[in-house]
Structure 1
Amino acid sequence: MFHRNARLTVFGRRLLVERVSSGRPVAHVAAEMGISRVTAHKWVRRWRAEGEAGLHDRSSRPLTTPHRTPAVVEARVCRLRQDRKLGPARIGPILGLPASTVHRILTRHNLNRLAWTDRLTGTVIRRYERDRPGELIHVDVKKLGRIPDGGGHKVHGRDAGRPIRGMGFDYLHSAVDDHSRLAYTEVHADEKVATCADSLARAAAFFRTHGITRIERVLTDNAWAYRKGLAWKHVLADLGATGKLTRPYRPQTNGKVERFHRTLLDEWAYLRPYTSNTERTQALDAFLHTYNHHRCHTALAGQPPITRVNNAPGQYN
C-alpha cells in the first residue's frame, strides 16, 4: 500500500529497472529519482530474482505468530458463532477472551457478519463470480402490485376506502451479468413464454450495446417458461447460449438477480409514493441508468457496473 508521499510506485520501480538495465550506474539513477542507493539496489535485486512480480510490495505479515490464539480455541469461537449466533461480546466471557480478540478470529474466518452465513447451518455462504462479462447471465421475474390511478395506500392510506386489491400485477423481467452486475429490466403484464423469450432477446441487445457481445450461459429458476418453453429455447439457440436451471427451491444460486430485485424495490418501486402505475414505470429507465453508470457497488470495489465491463479482462471483441 503506497502512502501519498511515496517516491516509488510499481511504475517508478519499473522505470528504475529500465534505466539501470540500459547500462547506467545505479547511484546516478538513484540520485535522479530521489532515493538512496540501497533502495535502488534492493529493487534491482528483486527484479533480477523474481522478474515483474518482484516490483510489487510484499506482505508485511510475519512468517510466524507465536502469540496467536490456538487453533482449538479459534474452532470453539467459530462453533459458538455458527451454532448459537453469538457476538464477540458474548463469546468472549464464555471462553475467557477479550471481545476484540474474538472479533479478529471471526473476521479471519469470514464469520464476523451473520449475513455471510447460512441461517440454519451457520456455514459460510460461498460466493462465486464468473471471470468475464457474458459468461453467465442471471434471469428472473419479480411480481409487483400495480398502483391505481391517483395513488395507492401509500398516498391515501389503507382506510380511505380506495381499492388496494384487484389491480393485478406488473412482472419485472430482469437480466443481470454475473461478472459486472450490469442490469436490464422490463415491465410486462405477464410472465408467459413469449414474453420471457422476447425480453431475453432485448436484454441481449442491451448487453451488446454496452460491450458484452457474447452470452455463454443463462441461469434461471425452474419456472415452466424456462424449462419447457420453445420460444425461450429458440432465443437461447439464436444467442448461442446454454440454459441453466437452479436447484428447486434454491434461490440463493440465482442470488445476484434476486439481490438486484431487492435493490430495485428499495431504490425505485418503493422509493417514493407514486400517483399512478404509469408514473412508476416511467421512472424505471432513470433508475437503471443510475444503477449501471453511477451507483457504486460494494462487490465492485465501489465502482458502477459499466466500469467493470469496460475494464474486464478477456473481453470478447
Structure 2
Amino acid sequence: MSHSNAILAPAGRLKLARCVVNDHWPLRRAAERFNVSVPTAARWAKRYVEFGEAGMQDRPCRPLSCPHRSAMRTERRVVGLRTSKRWGPARIAYHLHLNISTVHRILRRYHCPPLRFTDRSTGIRIRREHAHRYEYTQPGEMIHVDVKKLGRIPDGGGHRSLGRVAGEANARARNLSEGARKNRGLLRGFTFIHHAVDDHSRYVYSEICPDETKETAAAFMRNAIAAFAAHGVKIQRVLTDNGSCYRSRLFAQTLTEAGIRHKRTRPYRPQTNGKVERFNRILLEEWAYARHYTSETERQACYLDFIEHYNRSRPHTALKGASPASRVNNLPG
C-alpha cells in the first residue's frame, strides 16, 4: 500500500488521469509533471476511462489464476480425510500420493486446526492456537518456588570477562585457597538463589543461600511467608518441582503449619512452573551476566537493587507494561 502523501497515491493518480483525459494533456507532458514514465501515465489514464475514480485504488496482488494449485477435487479429499479420519498431513499424503508440504498447505488454506488442538474422537477444537496464559485472580493464590544454582565468580574475574584460560586459573587459585571440599554434598563453588514468585502479580521474594538443603528451603519458605504477609498477602498454595528439599517432611511441615497447600509439578515438566523459570532467565540476563564482575562479592552486592528494580520499576509484558508492585497491596512507599 502506498503512502497517503505519495505522488502516485490514489489522489495523485486521479489528478494525473484527469490531466490526460479531461484537460487533454499529452502523455509525455503529464508523465514529466508527475515524475513517472509514459507507460505509467497511460495505464492510469486508461483505468480512469474504464472504471472512473474507483479504478485509482490499489488492486490485490493475488493472481487471477494459479495453474499449479491442486485441483478442487483433491483439496476436498484432503479436507474430507482430515475431518472424517482425523489424519495428519503425512498420512493423508501417503494415502493420496501427494507431497506432505502440499497437504499441509491445503489444510492451512482451509483453516484446519492442528490435531493436538482438537478432540480426537469428535474433531471439535478444544484449544486455541494463541491461547492466553493462565493466571490466578488474587495475590497469594499461587506462589511458584524454585532454586537457581550459579557458579561463583572467583576473585579477579571469571572466564566470561577474562577468557577461558585466565578465568580457570583464578578458579583454581580460589579452590586451593578455600580447600574446595564437599560441604553437605555440594561444592563451595556454587551459590543457590531461592525464589518465591507470586502467580498473579509476578512479585518476587528472593534470597541468596549457601545450599539447597531441606533446612535452608524450609527457612526460606518461612521468610517468604512473612514477607508476603507484611504486604497483606496470604499464601494459599505453593508450587515446586520434585527436588529433594521440597519432598522433605520438614518443608511439608512448614507449609502445613502455615495452612498452605503444597503442589508439585509433573516430573520432567518444568513448563508447569514456568513463571519462576522465566524469572530465572531474567535473573541471568539482567543481573548475573549483565556485566563483567570481578568477584562474587561484587555481584551479590547488586542483587538487592536488582530485586527492588524488578518489583517496583521494571515493566512486565504479562502485566501490560506495569510493574509487579502495582498488583500488590500495602507496599511501603
Q: TM-score, normalised by structure 1?
A: 0.59
1:162 aligns with 2:181: no
Partner of 1:287: 306
**Counterpart check, 1:241 vs 2:260:** yes
SS in 2 for 1:184: strand
Counterpart of 1:196, as a letter, is A
Are the aligned partners of 2:156 and 2:295 in contact in 1 as well (CA < 8 Å)?
Answer: yes
Distance 1:200 1:95, change over 3 A: closer
SS at match of 1:236: helix
Tell me which amino acid in the other structure corresponds to 1:209.
A
> Which residue identity is paired with 1:279?
E
Aligned to 2:216: 195
Q: Deviations over 1:155-181 (max 9, x none)?
A: 221122624465611001000001110
CA contact (8 A) 2:157 2:170 kept: no
Q: Counterpart of 1:142 in 2: which secondary structure? A: strand
Superposed displacement of residue 208, structure 1? 2.1
Deviations, residues 40-68 of structure 1 (Å, cap 9, x unaligned) = xxxxxxxxxxxxxxxxxxxxxxxxxxxxx
Is 1:148 the equivalent of 2:149? no
State the one-letter code of the partner of 1:175. A
Shift of 1:235: 1.7
Aligned counterparts, 1:182-221, within 5 A: 182-212=203-233, 214-221=234-241
CA distance in structure 2 between the partners assigned to 1:206 and 1:306 by the alignment: 14
Q: CA deviation at 1:196?
A: 0.3
**Alignment-mate amino acid for residue 281 of structure 1:** Q
Counterparts of 2:287 and 2:265 in 1: how far apart (Å)?
27
Q: Which has the larger radius of gyration?
A: 2
2:275 maps to: 256
Alpha-carbon distance, 1:123 to partner: 7.3
Name the structure 2 match of 1:127.
133
User: Separation in 2 of the partners of 1:149 and 1:242?
Assistant: 43
SS at structure 2 position matched to 1:175: strand
Alpha-carbon RMSD: 3.8
Cα 1:156–1:244, aligned 2, differ >3 Å: closer, same or farther? same
State the distance in 1 between where 2:327 and 2:285 align. Answer: 23
Q: Distance in 2 between matches of 1:244 and 1:194?
A: 19
- Matched to 1:147, the amino acid is I
Deviations 1:174-227 (A, max 9, x none): 000011100111111110011001111111222123331x11111101111111
Partner letter of residue 216 of structure 1?
A: Q
Q: Is the Cα–Cα contact under 8 Å of residues 158 and 164 in structure 1 kept in the other structure? A: no
Alpha-carbon displacement from aligned partner over 1:209-259 (angstroms, at most 9, x marks no partner): 3331x11111101111111232x1232123210111111111111111011
| Alpha carbons 2:192, 2:210 under 8 Å: kept | yes
* Mapping 1:1-317, distance limit 5 Å: 127-160=133-166, 162-164=169-171, 168-212=189-233, 214-230=234-250, 232-310=251-329
Letter in 2 for 1:187: I
For 2:284 and 2:267, the matched residues in 1 are separated by 24
Size of the aligned set, in residue pairs, is 218
Q: Tell me, which stretches of 5 or more residues in structure 2 are unaligned?
A: 1-75, 90-99, 118-127, 176-187
Give the Cα separation in 2 of the matches to 1:146 and 1:177: 27
